[in-house]
Chain A
Amino acid sequence: MELDRAQISLLVLLAKLGLLAQTLMFSQVKAAIRHQEAVLTSQGSSHLNWALSFSTLAATAAAAARRASQPFRSERWSRRLGCGLQGLSPAFGVPQALVDDTEDVSLDFGNEEELAFRKAKIRHPVATFFHLFFRVSAIITYMGCDWFSRSFVGCFVTVLLLLSFDFWSVKNVTGRLMVGLRWWNQIDEDGKSHWIFEARKASPNTVAATEAEARVFWLGLIICPMIWIVFFFSSLFSLKLKWLALVIAGISLQAANLYGYVLCKMGGESDISKITASFLSQTVFQTACPRDFQKPGLEGLEIHKY
């Protein structure tokens, strides 16, 4: 086996990119002080340029994460406990649109960055980028294995690493930041294991998920496992069985995240067809931006359970 030098350096670069992004986001979240900086006034336009330069990404990520730490502190989480333990079961409902920000202008004076944050279509550009980056590059690497190098092992390890990074980042980072959902497993004192699924309740203090981010999140979450299932059948029927282990690992990792987040989103709803219908209608038949709707009207649609 020997990994090529190029592949080793690619692996190292990917790992560094991943770690750097995480460090940037988290170190800023820890800071509790809001700085009024000149760079923040230009955030409105730079949000849409996130793909262009990494330095802009870093600055935007730092500022966005700092902003993110503010509204989330006082939010509420509503929880759906798995395994038959019914407690607080939320209905998250459809993702709410951006809050009407004309209300805020007259009341808050030092809040330009809040406004810029709320106006932005994509509030967490780094998280959005990495949500898609690892998944898509795992798929591309798998498909391009025969062209990049002859080494089965190098390709296997690279794809597996990318899938692991993707699993970790989607489960722990992008789900929370982009759509406000999280899930995990907890073992209590008796040794019983509970699966816990939570959805963040949108309240007037917090900003709800934007539609663009929610759409990117769910489409990324759903399409990639389907592509891996296609790979499964293609490797099965073309009898390239040594790739089957990798494809099965890929399917299980991605399907686990999908399943976890679907359960979070379902909350109290036990009827999955209703959820898919509402999701489809929302993404396909999206018409005018609901920014024109006033907040009180939207609040009527949310179902808060306690």
Chain B
Amino acid sequence: MAEAAESPGDPGTATPRPLMRDLKAVGKKFMHVLYPRKSNTLLRDWDLWGPLILCVTLALMLQRGSVDSEKDGGPQFAEVFVIVWFGAVTITLNSKLLGGNISFFQSLCVLGYCILPLTVAMLVCRLVLLTEPGPINFMVRLFVVIVMFAWSIVASTAFLADSQPPNRKALAVYPVFLFYFVISWMILTFTPQ
């Protein structure tokens, strides 16, 4: 389930599916998100390994110094996980109820992969936070997060908007906007202990 197609070129061998093929497919999808083009790769051969990796990376980076203390105000690891996956599921349900012709896992795949720019933003923010705090620090982080947020939105709507009937596009895109906004907010307001 976590990945899609057998290639039709397996006429019936029982050879196990090669690991490298799956890894290459994940890498190719990352490239497609970074340079959004009109192509069907993300949709046709969906897989959920990329979103899992990105979600875990993001949640790891959003950790504070002391892991199990309840005193810090930042999101715990499991919360980030739940927010990302539950949010993605909700958006998918919404788009299906609006009459979109995209399948459940395809939509999860696209939403998950389009978190990549925000993960890059998180990385940059963490690096920037190593320098001294101040307004310049904040401005840089704000700029980076806004750019990456816009990138995520553009990448995901490039794939998702086509699957909706024309008068419903805005209704389908709005939850995506909210979803990435919440994640960007978590990234921007992150301060390590």
A residues touching B (Cβ–Cβ < 8 Å)?
A: 1, 19, 22-23, 25-26, 29, 68-69, 72-73, 75-77, 127, 150-153, 156-157, 160, 164, 167-168, 171-173, 176-177, 180, 182, 184-187, 191-193, 196, 200, 242-246, 253, 256-257, 260
Contacts and interface: CB of A to CB of B under 8 A. Distances in A.
Contacts of B17: 172-173
A256 B3 CA distance: 12
A65 B105 CA distance: 33
Contacts, number: 110
A1 B67 contact: yes
Nearest to A161: B56
A252 B14 CA distance: 26
Given A160-B56, A186-B4, A245-B81, A26 B16 contact: yes
Contacts of A160: 52, 56
Interface string B33-44: 000000000011
Sorted nearest first, the 5 A-B pairs with minimum C-beta distance are A1-B63, A172-B17, A173-B16, A193-B103, A72-B14
Main secondary structure of the interface of B (DSSP, over half): loop
Nearest to A124: B16
B189 to A, nearest CB: 18
A185 B1 contact: yes
Given A1-B67, A153-B63, A242-B78, A69 B15 contact: yes
A180 B67 CA distance: 45
Given A193-B106, A245-B78, A256-B1, A187 B46 contact: yes
Band of interface residues on B = 35 or more
Main secondary structure of the interface of A (DSSP, over half): helix
Contacts of B19: 19, 22-23, 26, 168
Nearest to A183: B1
Contact of B76 (A77, A196, A242): A242
Given A156-B78, A242-B76, A184 B12 contact: no
